[in-house]
Chains A and B, each alone.
Chain A
Amino acid sequence: MGKYADDEQWSDVVPLPTDEGGDNPLAAIAYSEEYEETMSYLRAIMAANEYSPRVLDLTEDLIDMNPAHYTVWLYRAQCLFAIDSDLKEELEWLNETALTHQKNYQIWHHRNLIVDKLDQCEGETAFVESMFERDAKNYHVWSYRQWLVRRFGLWDKGELEFTEQMLQRDVRNNSAWNHRWFVVNGQEGAAGVGDPDIRAREMKFAMLAIAKAPQNQSPWNYLRGITKKSGMSLAHLKDFAEQYASLDQPDNIHSSFALDLLADILVEEKNTKQAAQALDLLEKTYDPIRKNYWAYRKEQLGLPAAVA
């Protein structure tokens, strides 16, 4: 006997045991008794296409035991919509579940379906932020945040400030940098960093972040992204790069990313000799694990032989 077999509420259901097993050595799956019992009730319910409040209890039970079982989530969503269940209540339950199973794909897709149907996102950004307290780089949560911004048009409703807060907490959070780019440039028809004022603001933001942690790849990528998207010459960044990597002081390089950028600027200036010096420093001293990459960049310079 089990939890469901003993429950009055479920006495009308004949559980459907698994159709796996038998002689097949690769298919037989031994379940824990409790899980197997619950699944056998779900199979019976699904076979009868039942949508009712008790389906929500049953699927909740199964999701607690095994949140990765996507069929259970889908059936739960179908049921919620079919019986016109209170979706806000569903969200409250999901809040708890999401905190317990942070790396689960299904939870976020389910949330997506529910909030889309609700057609309003009150409390959602705050919930997302509480998820970031635990893991500020969770890919599902960032994707969900972007979906919220697009779906509910949150572009200029504090989103930029939010990225700033996230980066204040951890300036190396590449996900937050990516989100900032998305907020500034992602809206259809937005000029983004093509607008000189926005460009100036974003460059300043990245430069201040670099000052805090020069050996941090994300803001350097962000700066390069701005120059590329706006068609600006890299030469504008020369003074800045030299603050962190000057060829006059090869023993005092503060950032391999600055040196990399400087090398590109020197190439743009057709100063191949100094570009080779910068690439040499990267190859030999500041980023030797990528020596083949730096050697390739030097080859691209078309110099007859490597500069010592």
Chain B
Amino acid sequence: MSLAAGPGRGGGGGAQGQLPDEMKVVVEKHVAYIQSLDTRREELEYHLTEHLRISGIYWGLTALHLLGHPDALPRDGVLDFLFSCLHADGGFGAAPGHDPHMLYTVSSVQILAMVDGFDELEKRMKDGKLKVAKYIAGLQQPNGTFAGDEWGETDTRFLYCALNALSLLGFLPSQQADQPPLIDVPAATAYVKACQNFDGGFGTEPGAESHSGQVFTCCGALSITGELDSYLGEEGKDRLGAWLSERQLPSGGLNGRPEKLVDVCYSWWVMSSMAMIGRLHWIDKAKLTAFILQCQDPEEGGFADRPGDMVDVFHTVFGLAGLSLLGHPGLVEVDPA
């Protein structure tokens, strides 16, 4: 569930005091950076990223939880904005006036879980949780996968999103054993398995190239349905773990596919997948930690995709989540699935 499993701190201790400066996470600066994001509305980029508004709040809020400052964004403001994106059918759009979509619906559910806001949802919409769950369930396709919206683009991202959100809402068939199931779980997991490739990785659909992000969504989906261990077995885990560990390049950073550039966000997609299959120790942690910290802006806060690039909130949350999985001091511990 909530991404942050806290209140305990990861990395055995939490004190960063003894670390050299370049190894420290500048916690206060990251908090200030995330708080500043909502005040930069004069910039062109702000409205061009409107389609990501809900996701932006999710990323920012998750980062704040990891940093141990979960209250640094105003809860009421977050909830008001969230509900202004809620449609009568139970779906959430990216921003007010945007059509409902799976991605923003799951981000909204995740945000509600983080701020403990499900009661608010029930207050603002009668049977709100059930309505949201039904919106999500309604996007399942006959072949088991899920579409992003009524127009039917499908992708294993959406499938993972659906299972994640339904589990947070408590509406997975296994959580509602006395009710008729909202979704067909066996069909969904069969679809995920059909996305596994000859190299051991997973893609967006059957036949599509293995990609670390999709490995995360497919392992996450199987983990939520409780089938990851039985499906992969030790041999399958070794094979997938080998592919994932090959994502680490000499710079210490991780890439998403063979022969592609490293990027901080793969710290999360690759490592969380390795953690789910119990192979996280195959990463060279010291080198990856150093790489992620090179992407940190120690003056203004935030993380970039690669050293020297511009920071953004997306790479900030995945940089922090990566460091948390690595057990870096000063961060709250995170749940890989």
Contacts and interface: CB of A to CB of B under 8 A. Distances in A.
B46 A30 contact: yes
A30 B149 CA distance: 27
Given A20-B97, A109-B153, A290 B257 contact: no
B74 A25 contact: yes
Question: Main secondary structure on chain B at its contact with chain A?
Answer: loop
Given A29-B50, A175-B257, A289 B284 contact: yes
B164 interface: no
A174 B209 contact: yes
B197 A292 contact: no
B74 A139 contact: no
Interface string A164-192: 00000000111100110110011000000
A300 to B, nearest CB: 8
B81 A173 contact: no
Contacts of A69: 50-51, 98
Contact of A139 (B73, B95, B211): B211
Interface string B233-264: 00000000110011011101000011110000
B209 A142 contact: yes
Interface residues of B, number: 60
Interface stretch (B20-28, B199-207, B309-317): B199-207
B84 A290 contact: no
Contacts of B257: 137, 174-175
B223 to A, nearest CB: 21
Contacts of A174: 209, 257-260
Nearest to A186: B207
Nearest to A30: B41
Contacts of B211: 139
Interface in A71-129: 71, 74, 77, 105, 109, 112-113
Given A29-B41, A139-B209, A289-B284, A74 B74 contact: no
B177 interface: no
Nearest to B44: A32
Interface in B58-82: 73-74, 77-78, 80-81
Contacts of B281: 292
Contact of B282 (A71, A175, A218, A290): A290
Prevailing SS type, chain A contact patch: helix
For chain A, the bracket of interface size reads 35 or more
B227 to A, nearest CB: 21
A27 B96 contact: yes
Contacts of B197: 178, 181, 225
A54 to B, nearest CB: 20
Interface in A197-252: 216-218, 221-222, 224-225, 228-229
Given A19-B96, A43-B97, A28 B41 contact: yes
B250 A289 contact: yes
Interface of A: 18-20, 24-32, 35, 43, 65-66, 68-71, 74, 77, 105, 109, 112-113, 137, 139, 142-143, 146, 172-175, 178-179, 181-182, 185-186, 216-218, 221-222, 224-225, 228-229, 289-293, 296
8 contacts: A27-B81, A28-B41, A32-B44, A68-B52, A137-B257, A137-B260, A173-B259, A292-B284
The 8 closest A-B pairs by CB, nearest first: A225-B198, A178-B209, A293-B282, A26-B77, A174-B258, A30-B41, A221-B199, A26-B81
Given A74-B149, A178-B210, A289-B248, 14 more contacts: A19-B96, A24-B84, A25-B74, A30-B41, A30-B46, A35-B47, A143-B205, A172-B258, A174-B258, A174-B259, A185-B198, A289-B249, A290-B248, A290-B284
